Amino acid sequence: METLVAAVGLVFTSEVLLTVIASSFLGIVMGAIPGLTALMALALILPFTFYMSPVAAAAAMVSASAMAMTAGDIPGALMRVPGTPASAAYTMDSYTLGLEGKAHRALGVGIIVSAFGGILGAIYLMLIAPTLAEVAFYFSSDEYFWLTLLGLSCTTLIGGGSTIRSAIAVFIGLGLGTVGLSVEGGVPRFTGGYTELLGGIPLIPALIGLFAVPELIKMARPVADNAARIVKVKGRLFLDSIADVWRYKRGILASSNLGAVIGVVPGAGSDVAAWITYGLSRRFTKLKPETTEWRLQGVANASAANNAALGGAWVPALVFGIPGDTLTALVISVLYVQGIRPGPSIFTESGPEVFAIFIIFILANILLLPMAWMCVRAMNLLMQVPRYAIVPMILTVCVVGAYAADNDSFGIWVMVVFGILGWILESNKIPLGPVVLGFILGRPLEQYFVASLQKYGGDPFGLLTRPTATALAVCVGILWSFQIFSLVRNLIGTRRSIKPQGE
């Protein structure tokens, strides 16, 4: 009880509350403008968190991500352009509803269930994280190695899109993580003689470059105006949607629970939760396909799942220090900078701060309702601002943020190099999320592996001597085996389909 009272005192201060409001505004604007995703919002906020208290820094990340995830539905419904990868799952349904004059119902349902799913995800976080932390106290370097490898495997195998491209992205990230002093011996690796790289590649400038610069390049390029027809929101946004939410309450509750569970899986995140939930809804619905009722149900279920996954993804991030998704990968870096070390002891070392994060989750999702309503009403004005006019302002923030990370111009060069790298990768359809997870998880993966080898005298099979470690290794093996089987089957099917008919 004392911890909870202390957490309330940390949250309800002018600094934290103003941070929640400002970050919510930034997140909802970034999510509502196509191309400016939740990741980009967090990347821009990162440098400012250095000058905040730990609770205010966490509040900024929580608020911006929750708002951006929901605001990504708005351009999808009005312009057929998903604001976030998660909202792409149901963009066509929400846009079709908009063409039918029902955009207010699609957006109203999406906003209400997003708030509900986010609160349910926060409840999962509050219930699961402390219990899991008690179990994690018994983990050694063996279990952490397999758990980290499981997170990277999930990123590669269930992250959506091409598995091969995701695997390439992970290996690129792992390679970038080797820059700096080696884990064993402290020998410089791939530093090119730059002393600034002895501690590894600066994380903040690298993240700003990867996520912000490629989007700025795309925004600055002149393109033909081939956008979909823009629809306007008419009708009562929430009042006309409450009946729809009540009608689909069972599916929304089930989807929220499923999304929170998927979020707990390291490497999965909101994108996977949205697509899986949408697919299951389409597979098991009793409604007639391509009707208004079905489209509203699909939007409701997937929207609830992707916001619920946000809270679930914080579970492995807080308890094990392993990102649940790309967003929490950025969060972990912020927590370390603020002196909060994610891991099993976080509840004993930083209990009030952690419970303050729980409260902020609920507060941000309650605030989501009025702020999303205002964003929808202001969307007609936002869509009239040329995207190229926003580029100089965002670029300025990126340069300042890259410099402020270490008060060194070297960070700006890192941002530029990683910006070019990110643009090249995206041009070749290689996802950036697995690159970041590989980059962040590569060093701890190596540390756990080296520690276990030293413990067992260089015998790698020692990693399988503990029961929990063996169970995690089996999960990794099953995951790899299933995907390899699927790849081989698809390859055989493709080769058969292109055989000449005379053979």
Greater confidence, 269 or 344? 344
Greater confidence, 358 or 268? 358
Question: pLDDT at residue 223 above 60?
Answer: no
The predicted structure's pLDDT at residue 289:
66
Q: Mean per-residue pLDDT for 484-502?
A: 66
Candidate ranges 151-165, 212-226, 371-385; pick with highest mean pLDDT: 371-385
Burial class (CB in 10 A: 0-12, 13-18, 19+), 73: buried
Per-residue pLDDT reduced to its tens digit, 226-283: 444 555 666 676 777 788 888 888 888 988 888 888 788 776 667 777 877 877 777 7
Question: pLDDT at residue 311 above 60?
Answer: yes
Asked if 258 contacts 53 with a C-beta cutoff of 8 angstroms, the reply is: no
Interior CA angle at 44 toward 43 and 47, to 5°? 90
The predicted structure's pLDDT at residue 155:
67
The predicted structure's pLDDT at residue 18:
92
Which segments within 151-219 are labelled E, that is strand? 180-181, 188-189
Question: pLDDT at residue 205 above 60?
Answer: yes
Burial class (CB in 10 A: 0-12, 13-18, 19+), 142: buried
Q: How many CB atoms lie within 10 A of CB 500?
A: 5
User: By mean pLDDT, which of 349-363, 414-428, 482-496 is the weakest?
Assistant: 482-496
Q: Where does the pLDDT of residue 35 fall: very low under 50, low under 70, confident under 90, or very high at 90 and above? A: low
Burial class (CB in 10 A: 0-12, 13-18, 19+), 488: exposed
Asked if 83 contacts 375 with a C-beta cutoff of 8 angstroms, the reply is: no
Q: Mean per-residue pLDDT for 381-401?
A: 71
CA–CA distance, 44 with 33 (Å, rounded to integer): 15
Q: Mean per-residue pLDDT for 113-122?
A: 88
**139 φψ region: left (φ > 0), alpha (ψ -120 to 50), beta (else):** beta
Q: How many CB atoms lie within 10 A of CB 7?
A: 21
Q: Where does the pLDDT of residue 444 fall: very low under 50, low under 70, confident under 90, or very high at 90 and above? A: confident
**Given the DSSP bridges, would you call strands 180-181 and 188-189 parallel, antiparallel or unpaired?**
antiparallel
- Reading the block at residue 487, the tokens are 């790849």
What CA–CA distances, in Å, run from 113 to 33, 39, 82, 122, 384?
A: 21, 22, 18, 14, 28
Greater confidence, 447 or 498? 447
Q: Mean per-residue pLDDT for 466-474?
A: 88
**Domain map (residue ranges) of the chain:** 2-223+234-497
CA–CA distance, 404 with 201 (Å, rounded to integer): 15
Q: How many CB atoms lie within 10 A of CB 43?
A: 26
Question: pLDDT at residue 492 above 80?
Answer: no
The chain-wide mean pLDDT, for the chain, equals 80
Is residue 158 classed as helix, strand or coil in its secondary structure?
coil
Q: Mean per-residue pLDDT for 480-491?
A: 75
CA–CA distance, 76 with 255 (Å, rounded to integer): 20
Question: pLDDT at residue 386 above 70?
Answer: no
Per-residue pLDDT reduced to its tens digit, 69-101: 888 788 777 776 666 667 767 777 888 888 888
Candidate ranges 156-170, 174-188, 314-328, 411-425; pick with highest mean pLDDT: 411-425
CA–CA distance, 154 with 331 (Å, rounded to integer): 19
Per-residue pLDDT reduced to its tens digit, 144-174: 888 888 877 776 655 445 677 878 888 898 8
Question: pLDDT at residue 137 above 70?
Answer: yes
The predicted structure's pLDDT at residue 159:
47
User: By mean pLDDT, which of 29-43, 178-192, 408-422 is the weakest?
Assistant: 29-43
Quote the DSSP letter at residue 89. Answer: G
